Structure 1
């Protein structure tokens, strides 16, 4: 099992799958080559919210991954779920977020002006995650990653010109929120 990160976390990456299964994102992030890339970019802590994937998370902590960690000062810690306040704190204290493309996580990361790579969960039916990721990437608020090109997205995140999201109370912010809520209402009505 992965050791818990130390209290000192100079440069943290937060990985979150939200409340639905997204084992392939956890698998992609915990590949030794990806962890080595993050470490080479100066990140010191990886925090993984793996949802229902505890067995998968534990199985990915291999001898090869331990070897990568032994050559660095990076620590990895994970957990299934946390309260909204705890997730907010993870986002606030992280330098980079790698996430499913759920609107709540994206908006929270943008609220705190965090660099975020969103990876739509392609296994979901009627995939609004993909639509949201495409639109937010087109506007340069996020990097849309995929399981296949995650390393490229991580490298791109270093010098990507992220656009700052409008602050709460601005007209544009409320328009985006209203549009997202409209999608949710339609899902409930037609789902």
Structure 2
């Protein structure tokens, strides 16, 4: 397997708090694992988490952290790899942007519907998922080139179906 390099990584926790992931990403072992796959720059949307926004360099990686923007689409588009919480909106946005995606499930959520979504999308080979505890080992062993692109929905099928139901016979 040829080594893939992901120079620019975008990480998002969405609109929630995911303190564990925010803290964990900034640790030396996680940054070393990211550096090992070629990371030179991280754009990190930290939401309401306890980490302070700002720009820093750590373990030779430039890290730009911010809380919120009107749209994260440009950050996703310019990234070589997206690491995201398991929120449906963030997952779908990354998949529709055709980016390799690693989802980190927040195990602290009560009703963990996010885990169900991540599991199904991994079964369908659209992404890989892990927890904070398995993030380093996942980064070290997965091959993002094996992922299957997410096919966009064909809305005309639905529209044609509605037309057939509501068509009035003359």
TM range (shorter): 0.7 to 0.9
1:154 paired residue among 93, 118, 139: 139
2:21 paired residue among 22, 25, 28: 25
- Choose between structure 1 and 2: higher helix proportion: 1
**Which residue in 2 is equivalent to 1:130?**
115
For residues 141 and 153 of structure 2, the distance between their equivalents in structure 1, rounded to whole angstroms, comes to: 28
User: What is the aligned residue count?
Assistant: 151
Is 1:112 matched up with 2:97? yes
Contact 1:19 1:51 in 2 (8 A): yes
Kindly state the Cα deviation for residue 155 of structure 1 after the two structures are TM-superposed: 2.4
2:84 paired residue among 99, 106, 117: 99
Unaligned runs of 5+ residues in structure 2 are 1-5, 159-170
Kindly state the Cα deviation for residue 113 of structure 1 after the two structures are TM-superposed: 1.2
Unaligned runs of 5+ residues in structure 1 are 1-9, 175-191
CA RMSD of aligned residues (A): 2.3
**Which residue in 2 is equivalent to 1:56?**
51
Contact 1:13 1:47 in 2 (8 A): yes
Kindly state the Cα deviation for residue 44 of structure 1 after the two structures are TM-superposed: 1.4
For residues 114 and 26 of structure 1, the distance between their equivalents in structure 2, rounded to whole angstroms, comes to: 21
Kindly state the Cα deviation for residue 39 of structure 1 after the two structures are TM-superposed: 1.7
- Choose between structure 1 and 2: higher strand proportion: 2
For residues 127 and 98 of structure 2, the distance between their equivalents in structure 1, rounded to whole angstroms, comes to: 10
Is 1:83 matched up with 2:78? no
Normalising by structure 2, we get a TM-score of 0.79
Q: Deviations over 1:28-58 (max 9, x none)?
A: 21111111221232221111111112x4347
For residues 134 and 156 of structure 2, the distance between their equivalents in structure 1, rounded to whole angstroms, comes to: 35
1:76 to 1:23, Cα distance in 2 relative to 1, 3 A: same
Kindly state the Cα deviation for residue 102 of structure 1 after the two structures are TM-superposed: 0.6
2:128 paired residue among 134, 138, 143: 143
Structure showing greater Rg: 2
Q: Deviations over 1:137-166 (max 9, x none)?
A: 111111011111101222234455101111
